[in-house]
Structure 1
Amino acid sequence: MENEVFTPLLEQFMTSPLVTWVKTFGPLAAGNGTNLDEYVALVDGVFLNQVMLQINPKSESQRVNKKVNNDASLRIHNLSILVRQIKFYYQETLQQLVMMSLPNVLIIGKNPFSEQGTEEVKKLLLLLLGCAVQCQKKEEFIERIQGLDFDTKAAVAAHIQEVTHNQENVFDLQWMEVTDMSQEEIEPLLKNMVLHLKRLIDERDEHSETIVELSEERDGLHFLPHASSSAQSPCGSPGMKRTESRQHLSVELADAKAKIRRLRQEL
């Protein structure tokens, strides 16, 4: 049933403007790959890391696992490298701060074949597009966009506006170096900053609560009885399930802590 629900969603996503755009960097799957093959190539992160390397050849080389084989941990590793590279490029090269929530690599890694998974991949492609059209090779990449059909080209142009002219998504830090701004120009920027600050504080508090809840759940697992575990098979034993639960909670806890650190840095 899950496949029946996801298949039409997958077909729609793989024909979307952002996916069509990223295919201008090369084929997603060898030969006559299906939509599923191409989607897996996206979520595994290998292809997208190669795209980022074309955008920023000077980026620090990090080891990407080229054979993911549907391993969620390897997928998360690859995507985490990509998100860090994207964030670094916006901040250090473009002098821009990504204000929109970063793509959730845990969702893509663990549950890619879902609507939520495709939404996170879309966010990833959107940020990549913003890097591509503002990098040193932007003329080459924009020329590729010009070669797309009219409707796709118009849709990609609208997406570009989302990450180049929308301060709620990406905030331009270069205005701080301008010394002759008028009061009329400064006021909307300050209002934007206040709104962003409020959102960051709300997110920080929300993630702090999540950390507390996850910590309590994790600690509670240590007090569960272990006596009956030896009487059952290893695969279905409560001990095995507790181990899996602890691992799952540890991943979520680590992710939440990372988000808290990121929010504190942005504040």
Structure 2
Amino acid sequence: MESGVFLPYLEQFMLSPLVTWVKTFVANDAGMQLDFSELLDGVFLNDIMTQINPSATPQGVNKVKSDPSQRIHNLSLLVRQIKTYYLDNLRQLIMIPLPNVLLLGKTPYCGITQAVLTNSLEILIVLHLHFQCEKKEEYIERIQTLDFDTKAAIAVHIQELTHSQDNMLDLQWLEASELHPDELEVMARNMALHLRRLLDQRDTQLETITELMQEREGVVSPLSSPSSPHSASYCPSMQQQQAGAQQHLAVELADSKAKIRRLRQEL
């Protein structure tokens, strides 16, 4: 679907409070007109992220021309930097779904609503980082230059992101020598809710894998012939495919557990 159909929607997005804040990072003498493609390509947001954390300058962030893999690379670096900064510097885990870089990279203007919402999330997360980094006073002053309605809307966005354990999981309690029983109860409840959500996501993914395997089996099976001595090797059974998928998931689970153990040792 052509991007021109959604032009009014894009124009509205580019006038939103979050984008208005992002535009304050455009140098007055740069002659740059920030548009949706500049945000979508990830170069400009990576530049802002570098200002937050200069020690982790991403490598290979370049302008996107005709190669969607460059956009995927740029956005992947941005998401990775955001996750790392939250975990290492703020001791927080991002619980909300992160941007789908594959969708934005390959079909940036297909399903433009998803693209706009994803960009909003990226901008919002970077905005929140600015209020917790070492230069937060400078960035707060920059916010103060905006009009009252824009400042109020930005404040609401920050509250939406930070005032719920459903969005961010604070790990600083792991470093505390002792916790009040009420605080411990709240943390245990939040952890249980997050665990339930992860299990639901796992089950949903397994169901999706099973459905895809069934579709693949339905396509491949008619092509195989009982008389062909190699048909079994070319078309593995449903049980074999499921076993392979479960083994892959088990490896990923073991890797995740190892990362958790290393994190606990560091704490």
TM-score range (shorter-chain normalised) is 0.7 to 0.9
RMSD between superposed Cα atoms in Å: 3.0
Amino acid of the structure 1 residue aligned with 2:101: V
Give the % identical residues. 54
The offset of 1:192, in angstroms, is: 1.2
Amino acid of the structure 1 residue aligned with 2:36: Y
In structure 1, what is the Cα distance between the partners aligned to 2:171 and 2:64? 37
2:88 is matched with which residue? 92
1:230 is matched with which residue? none
In structure 2, what is the Cα distance between the partners aligned to 1:191 and 1:218? 41
The offset of 1:160, in angstroms, is: 1.5
The alignment status of 1:73 with 2:53, answered yes or no, reads: no
The offset of 1:119, in angstroms, is: 0.8
Unaligned runs of 5+ residues in structure 1 are 226-256
The alignment status of 1:105 with 2:105, answered yes or no, reads: no
Give the TM-score of the pair, scaled to structure 2. 0.75
Structure 1 segments of 4 or more deviating over 6 A?
Answer: 218-225
C-alpha change, 1:117 and 1:180, in structure 2 (3 Å) is same
The offset of 1:25, in angstroms, is: 1.4
1:191 is matched with which residue? 189
Match of 1:179 among 158, 177, 180: 177
Query: SS at 2:169's partner residue?
Result: strand
Q: Which moved more, 1:173-182 or 1:38-47?
A: 173-182
In structure 2, what is the Cα distance between the partners aligned to 1:51 and 1:137? 12
In structure 2, what is the Cα distance between the partners aligned to 1:142 and 1:215? 51
In structure 1, what is the Cα distance between the partners aligned to 2:46 and 2:177? 38
The offset of 1:221, in angstroms, is: 7.1
2:54 is matched with which residue? 57
C-alpha change, 1:38 and 1:140, in structure 2 (3 Å) is same
C-alpha change, 1:216 and 1:136, in structure 2 (3 Å) is farther
Give the TM-score of the pair, scaled to structure 1. 0.75
Contact map agreement 2:130 2:139 (CA 8 A) in 1: yes
Contact map agreement 1:103 1:123 (CA 8 A) in 2: yes
Query: SS at 1:26's partner residue?
Result: coil
Unaligned runs of 5+ residues in structure 2 are 224-248, 261-267
In structure 2, what is the Cα distance between the partners aligned to 1:82 and 1:212? 32
The offset of 1:215, in angstroms, is: 5.6
Amino acid of the structure 2 residue aligned with 1:181: L
In structure 2, what is the Cα distance between the partners aligned to 1:98 and 1:195? 14
In structure 2, what is the Cα distance between the partners aligned to 1:4 and 1:26? 25
Q: How many positions carry a matched residue from both structures?
A: 230
